[in-house]
């Protein structure tokens, strides 16, 4: 369920189809996100899942799976 919500947030920011977004995809290399788009995705995740992703944690985010782990821990 978290994956589907996350895919929708990413798809909306990056103008992609949600089903195209796989957990192993890198935000920069595979999805082509820039720093502003990553920030928008983080904001959407924080709002949707009612969590706070600390600035120090953002540098550790490379893949969709990395975010899923943070959501499940948070």
Query: Tell me, what CATH number does 64's domain have?
Result: 1.10.1200.10
- The residue annotated as part of the active site, out of 29, 34, 60, 62, is 34
Per-residue pLDDT tens over the stretch 28-60: 999 999 999 999 999 999 999 999 998 888 888
Residue 64 has pLDDT above 70, yes or no: yes
CA distances (Å), 57 to each of 1, 5, 20, 22, 61, in order? 23, 20, 25, 21, 7
Q: What is the pTM of this model?
A: 0.92
Domain of 58 in residue numbering reads as: 2-73
Q: What φ, ψ does residue 46 adopt, rounded to 5°?
A: -60, -40
Quickly count: other Cβ atoms within 10 Å of residue 66's Cβ: 14
Per-residue pLDDT tens over the stretch 5-26: 999 999 999 999 999 999 999 9
Q: Based on the structure, what is the number of domains in the chain?
A: 1
Q: Tell me, yes or no, if 60 is annotated catalytic.
A: no
């Amino acid at each position: 369920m978290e994956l589907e919500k996350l895919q929708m947030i990413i798809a909306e920011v990056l103008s992609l189809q949600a089903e195209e977004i796989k957990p192993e995809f890198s935000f920069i290399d595979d999805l082509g996100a820039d720093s502003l788009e990553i920030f928008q995705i983080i904001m959407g995740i924080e709002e949707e899942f009612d969590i706070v992703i600390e600035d120090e944690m953002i540098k550790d985010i490379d893949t969709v799976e990395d975010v899923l782990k943070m959501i499940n821990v948070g």
